[in-house]
Structure 1
Amino acid sequence: MMMRGGVSPLYFFAWRRSRIGMQFVEILFEVCMKKFVFAAFFSVSIPLGYAQPIWSDGSLHRSEIDIFAREKMYAVYLNPFLIREESEKMFRENKDKLKYSEVDWEEKFSSYLMNNDFSSGKKVVVARVLQAVNKSVVSRKVRVSNIVSAVVLPLNELEYDRVRKMPEVTLVNEIKNSEMEISSFPYYDYNGGGELVSWAKVAVNSDDGFSVFNPFYYVDVHPGALQSTSEYDVNVIYASAGAGDYSYHSSAIARIVGAKRNLIFSRGINPGQPLYLAATSPSFIFVVPAIEAAIHHADVRGVNAVLNISMNNGDEIAGDPYSTNPHDETGKTMLRASNRFLVTQSAGNAKPGHFNGDACPHVYNVDGAILDNDAILSVGAIDRTGDRMMDSINFYPGDYPTPIASRSGPCVDFYAPGGEIYAYVNQNNQLNFGSGTSYAAPIVAAIASRYGDTQTKPLVRESYVKSILMPTGYNDGGRPIKIPRYSTNPVGVLRHHPVIQAIAPVNNHRIGYIRDNNFFQRPEEFWTSSDNFGSFAVDLGQVRDVKGVRIVLETSSPGNNPVNFQVFGSSMALQNNPLNYYYFAPSVLIKNHTEPFQYERVPIFIPLNGNYRSLRIDGMNPTSWFAVVEVEVYGF
C-alpha cells in the first residue's frame, strides 16, 4: 500500500505540443476526456466559493461565511507514486503491454515520459485537486510546478482542509508573503590601464587574466534599463509577475562579477563571465519561482553552476525566526537548487539597533546552525581592513546614508569583501561605491565558478571554496573571520567518484536512474523498492577513498519525518546478480545514519570514512516507500 506524504515548490508550466506525434496525443486526449480530467484544465475559470446550499442554509453566522472569502497561497504537494501509477495506467490503455518484456516495457514507458513535458498521470492527479476546489489552471493564481510534483493554489480555510485530506495530496504548505530585504548598498583600489580595479578583486586574489566561461546564475530584482550594456552580459531567463525596475542592485552584482576588460569604468572578478538572471521582487512568493526558474534553466541543459541570492528574510520579529529553514518553501527550494548549484546567500545587513544582529533569522540554516556538504553558503561582509563591515550606505541612489553592519554569528559560513565596493554608475555617469553583504556573496560564487567546468558537482565547489579560506586577523564572536583567496593549487578538495554500476533485488530494471544525472526533467524516472524498506548497491570501479554519499529521495512522506539508513562497504566488485543480491552485496556494516527530515528531491548527505569499491545502502522510510532519484559518492 502506498503511504501518504510528499513535498515540492513551484515553477510556471507552459503548455507545449508533445514531440511524440500528433496521433498519440489525440489518443491521450481521448482517454483523458473519458476520465474527466481535462474539464478542470480547460474550463472557464470558476468564481471562487462554494455551492448554493452553504449560502442558503441560513444557520451560518457571518464569521463562518467570511471563511470562504479569506484566501492564502499554498504549495500543494502530490503523491509521486500515485502520479506514476496513473501514468502507467493511461499508457497501458493505449499500448499492448503483452508485446514487451518487463525491461522493454520500462524502456518504452521511459521513452514516452521523455517526450512529454508534463506526464499524463500528473495531469490526472492535478485535475482531481483542482476539481475538488472548483478551480482551473486558467486562473492566473494557479501554477503547476515543472520541477517537482506540486501545484500552487489560492485556498480559503475550508478549501485548505478539504485538499489536505485528499489521498492525492501529501502535504500543504502556506507560502508566506513576507518581504525580503536587499542587502546592499589594508587593501586599496587602483587604476589598471584606465579601469578601476577594486580592492575586493585584489583581496580574493582574482586580479589576473583568467577567463571564466562557466555560467553564473543569480536571483535578484530586475536591472531595468541597465540590463544591456557594453560592460557586462546579463541574460534575463525569467521575470516574475512582481518583478519591478529596481536597476542598481542587480546591475551592481553584474558589474562586480562580470564587468569586462574594455577600459570602461571597472573590472569584475571574472571579466566577461556569462550571467543568467532570474528576476523577482523582494517577496517570498516571487523569490521561490525565480529560484525554480534558475533550476529549470540549468537542469534542462545538464549544467552544474553557481547560484547567488543577495536577498534575505527581512523580518526582525522573533515569532518566525527561521523562515528560510529546510521546512519553509524558500529553504526547501534552496536545497533542491543545491542538486545543480553551489548556492551563495548574503548574510544580510544589520540596521541601527541590531548591529550585533544574528544572521540566523535571515538566511538558510538548520536549527540555528550551518552544515557542511549541503552546498549552501551564507556569506558575511568585511571592509578593506579585514574586519566585519560597518558602514553607512544609500539604500537607493540619492537617499540619505543609513548605518549598517554585516550580520554575523553561527549561521555565517565565512566572509568576503563587501565594504566600499565600486559597483554602480549613477545618473551622472559616474562610478559610485556601495557596501553590503549583497556584494560579498556574489564574489564567493564568482570565485567558486572558476573551479572546474559545467559538470563539476556543487559539493566539490563547496569543498574548493572552503579549502582556500584565509584568516584576516579579526574575529566574529571568537571565530576567526576568513575569506576565500583564489588558488590554482588547492589542497584537500573533495572528488566526485562516479558510480559505474548499480543493482537492486527489487525493480532492478529501474536502478540505472540513480546514476543518470537527472534530477527534475523526467519526474517519474526513479528507482523504488515498492515498500518502506529497500536496498541497493553501487560499484565505483575501483577501491576509492570515500568520505560520504549524497542521496536524493523521491518521497511521499508528509514532510518533517526521519529516514533511517545503514551503509555496508566492501573492497570487492559487485556481481550483477539481483536474484542473489544479499549473497554478493557488501555485508560489512560501516554506518548507521538517521536523517531527521525528508522532502521530495531534497538531497541527504551521509558522512563516511574508509576505502571501498562497492557500497550497499539499506533504507527504512516509515512514512513513504523508499525511493531514490540520484546517488553521488564523494571522497579524496
Structure 2
Amino acid sequence: MAVPVWIRHYATLHPPKGRLLMCKVSKTSIIATACLLAFSSSSALTQTIWDSNQLPQSIIKEPKKEKLYTVYFNPFSAQEESEKMVAKKYSGKNLNPEEWEFIFSKEMEAHEKSPGRLVVASRILADLSKSLMNRNVYIHNIVSAITLPLNETEKIKIEKMEDVTLINEIDEIPYSTSFPYQDHQSDGELVSWAKKATNTDDNYTTDNPFYFLDLFPGNLQSTSEYHINIIHYAGNDYSQAFYHPSAIAQIVSGRRNGSHGRGINPNQPLFLAVGGVRAAAQGLEAAVHHADSRKISSVLNISSNIPEGSGPYWHYYTNPHREDGKMILRASNRFLITQSASNMTFNNSIHSACPFVYNVDGNVVDNDAILSIGAVNHEGKRMVNSGAVATTRVGPCVDFYAPGDSIYAYADNPDSTHDSGTSFSAPIVAAIASRYGDKKTKPLVRESYIKSLLVPTGHTDPLDGKPIKIPRYNPYSFGILKNHPILYAVSPINNQKINYIKDDNFFQRPDEFWHASGNTGSLTLDLGSIKNVTGIRVVLETSSPGMNPVHFTIYGSSAPMTGSSYTYDEHKPTSFIKDHTASFQYERAPIYIPLNGNYRSIRIDGNNPTSWFAVVEIEVYGY
C-alpha cells in the first residue's frame, strides 16, 4: 500500500506504554476492518438517542464475581487505524495535505463511530476472548474507551496491553437523596416563593433546552404539566412513587395552565437522561451526545449526590480522577452544570458538601462551568431541619445558594405538594441561567452570567464564613464574559488539521483533531482584532493515564498573524505572557488557562511529557 508522504509522520506514536509503528494494511486486517465497519451500522453497536416512546433496557448487565470497568485506549492508535483505512481506499492518488484532510474528514463523517476506535477496541477484546458484539460491552461515543465487566484475571491482563492507557473501576453508587414529604395543599396555579426570591415571577420563558440527569425514571405521568423528552433510559425499575424527576420537571417547566404550579420557565423543553445507580456516567454521556450531535450548548442539572470514596486520591468521590468526575468535566464542554450540594439528616449540624459534589482538592473552581448549589429557607438562611433530611450541606465546595425549603414540586403526588432539598435549589439555578443567550451560548458565558446575578441574603456560610448569596434574575446584566471567535489559526506542523481546533466539534468526529506528531508543539490564534482576553480553554486529546501534568507557554501580540505554516517562526508572537502547568489531563477534558491582557494573536506552545501534544478545541474568553 502506498501511504501518502504527508501522513507518514503518523508512523511513530508515543503511547505511555510503548511504541506503536504504522504498518501496511494486510488483507486480513482489511477484512477485519471491513467487518467492523459493517458492524458499526448495526443495532448491536449503535447507541440510540432514545425518545419518550423508546425505553430500552441498559446494555450493561453485571455478571457475578465481576466488576465494571471503563477501559481507555490510545486515541492516536485509533486515529492511525482510521487513516490507514482511508489511505488504502485512496492509494495511488496524488493528494496534497489539504485534499487528504478534506477526504479524510468526509470519510469519517460517513461513520457513526470512529472505525479506528472499533479496530483498537476489537483488538483489546480479542485478547480477552470477547467481541464488539458482546451485549455486555459498551462502546463510548465521546472518548476512546469501552465499559465492560471484568474479573480479576482479565483486569490484570488488560492492564498490560499496549493499547490501554487507563482503567477506572465503576463503583456501586447508592442513591443518597431522600424524599421527605410535607403535606401542604394549594388550590389553583401556585407561584412558588422561589420565583419571588429569584425575581423570576414574570411572563418570561425560554426555548433553550434544559437537560437533567436522574438515577431513576420515577413517575412522569403528568406530562400535561411540562414538556419532557426521555433521551436515555438505563432500565432501572423503580417504584412509580419516586417523584424526584417529575418534581424537578414541575419546578423548572410547569406550564401556565390555571392549575398546579408555575415553573421558573413555563413549558421550557426538558431532556431527561436516566442513568441508574451504576451508570450515572453513562447517562451523562447520553446527554452530552444528544447535545453535541446537534451542536447545542445549554444547561444540565444533576440533583443527585455520590458518597465519599476512599484512598489517597479519591477522598472526594466526584473529583476529576473518578469516572463520574471525569464525565462531569467533559460534559462542561457543552453544558453549564449545576449539582445539588447534598442534604443530611443531622439536626442543625454543619457538614461539608465536599465529599458529595464535584470539586478539585476540596474547593470549587472558577471558570469550569460546574456549580454546586446549596439551599436557603424563606429567610435567606441556610436550610436546616426542613423535613426528614433537608439540612443543606455547606462549605468551600458550595459555589452559592438558591431557594430549597418547602418548594412546590408535585403535580402528580397524591400525598404531598411541597418538599425541601438541594435537589430543588440546583435546577432553579440552571433554569435561570438557561434564560440567557441561545443554543450556541458557551457554558463559561452562562457561568459568568449567573454569577453576575448573585446578591447576599445577609447571612453567612457557617463553615467557611463567606456570605450566602442567591441569584436574582436581571435581563439587563452587564459585565458578562464573552467568547471571542478565532478568525484564523496556524501551526508549523500538521497545519492541514488546524481548523479542527475551532469547529465547535468536541466529540462527534473523534478522529478530527490537531496534533504535533510528538510531545511538543506550537500553534497561533488570530482573533481578527485586538480583544480583551481573560483566559483560554483548551480541550486536549491525550493518551496519558491522567495523573500527569501538561505544560503551556503563552505568548501574545497586538499584530495579526500573517505567517503561514512555512513562515511560522518569522511571524509568530514573541511577547511572553505566562507559563501554565495543568496538574492532570484526561481525554477531551477542558483545561482553563487564566490570562489578563489585550491581544489579537495568541501563541500556545505545549509540552505533554506523557502523550503527544494534541488539541481538540480551543475557546478564547474576555470582555
Q: What TM-score, normalized by structure 1, do the two folds share? A: 0.87
What is residue 91 of structure 1 aligned with on the other side? 86
What is residue 345 of structure 1 aligned with on the other side? 339
Is 1:135 the counterpart of 2:144? The answer is no
Runs of 5+ consecutive residues of structure 2 not aligned to the other structure? 1-11, 18-24, 45-62
Shift in Å, 1:95: 1.9
Structure 2 counterpart of 1:374, which letter? D
Shift in Å, 1:488: 1.1
Shift in Å, 1:40: 13
Find 1:410's aligned residue among 367, 376, 396: 396
CA distance in 2, matches of 1:427, 1:346: 22
Q: How does 1:191-590 map to 2 (within 5 A)?
A: 194-242=188-236, 244-246=238-240, 247-281=242-276, 283=277, 285-315=278-308, 321-352=315-346, 355-393=349-387, 402-425=388-411, 427-428=413-414, 432-477=417-462, 478-590=465-577
- Aligned partner of residue 417 in structure 2, secondary structure: strand
Q: CA 1:268/1:427 → structure 2, altered by over 3 Å: closer, same or farther?
A: closer
CA distance in 1, matches of 2:37, 2:553: 47
CA distance in 1, matches of 2:542, 2:404: 40
Structure 2 counterpart of 1:33, which letter? I
Runs of 5+ consecutive residues of structure 1 not aligned to the other structure? 7-26, 46-67, 394-401
- Aligned partner of residue 424 in structure 2, secondary structure: helix
Structure 2 counterpart of 1:435, which letter? S
CA distance in 2, matches of 1:138, 1:316: 33
What is residue 600 of structure 1 aligned with on the other side? 587
Aligned residues of 1:74 and 1:174 also touching (Cα < 8 A):
yes
CA distance in 2, matches of 1:148, 1:174: 16
Aligned residues of 2:264 and 2:428 also touching (Cα < 8 A):
yes
Aligned residues of 1:243 and 1:280 also touching (Cα < 8 A):
no
Structure 2 counterpart of 1:149, which letter? S
Is 1:174 the counterpart of 2:169? The answer is yes
Q: CA 1:135/1:179 → structure 2, altered by over 3 Å: closer, same or farther?
A: same
Aligned residues of 1:259 and 1:272 also touching (Cα < 8 A):
yes
- Aligned partner of residue 14 in structure 2, secondary structure: coil
Report how many aligned residue pairs link the two structures: 578
- Aligned partner of residue 230 in structure 1, secondary structure: helix
Q: CA 1:170/1:490 → structure 2, altered by over 3 Å: closer, same or farther?
A: same
Aligned residues of 1:190 and 1:198 also touching (Cα < 8 A):
no
Post-superposition Cα deviations, 1:210-229, rounded to whole Å, max 9, x if no partner, equal 02110000001444452452
Q: How does 1:103-182 map to 2 (within 5 A)?
A: 103-182=98-177
Q: CA 1:122/1:29 → structure 2, altered by over 3 Å: closer, same or farther?
A: farther
CA distance in 2, matches of 1:631, 1:278: 28
What is residue 618 of structure 1 aligned with on the other side? 605
Shift in Å, 1:181: 1.7
Q: CA 1:224/1:363 → structure 2, altered by over 3 Å: closer, same or farther?
A: closer
Aligned residues of 1:391 and 1:435 also touching (Cα < 8 A):
no
Aligned residues of 2:222 and 2:411 also touching (Cα < 8 A):
no
Aligned residues of 1:212 and 1:450 also touching (Cα < 8 A):
yes
- Aligned partner of residue 104 in structure 2, secondary structure: helix
- Aligned partner of residue 312 in structure 1, secondary structure: coil
CA distance in 1, matches of 2:285, 2:37: 28
Q: CA 1:408/1:184 → structure 2, altered by over 3 Å: closer, same or farther?
A: farther
Structure 2 counterpart of 1:308, which letter? N
Shift in Å, 1:78: 1.1
What is residue 4 of structure 1 aligned with on the other side? 15
Q: What TM-score, normalized by structure 2, do the two folds share? A: 0.88
Shift in Å, 1:120: 2.1
Structure 2 counterpart of 1:418, which letter? G
Q: CA 1:191/1:618 → structure 2, altered by over 3 Å: closer, same or farther?
A: same
- Aligned partner of residue 195 in structure 1, secondary structure: coil
Structure 2 counterpart of 1:177, which letter? E
- Aligned partner of residue 133 in structure 2, secondary structure: coil
Q: CA 1:5/1:305 → structure 2, altered by over 3 Å: closer, same or farther?
A: farther
CA distance in 1, matches of 2:26, 2:269: 41
CA distance in 1, matches of 2:237, 2:438: 31
Post-superposition Cα deviations, 1:56-115, rounded to whole Å, max 9, x if no partner, equal xxxxxxxxxxxx984211111010101111111122222225332221111101100011
Aligned-residue Cα RMSD (Å) equals 2.6
CA distance in 2, matches of 1:29, 1:450: 56
Q: CA 1:114/1:101 → structure 2, altered by over 3 Å: closer, same or farther?
A: same
CA distance in 1, matches of 2:342, 2:82: 45
Q: CA 1:365/1:97 → structure 2, altered by over 3 Å: closer, same or farther?
A: farther
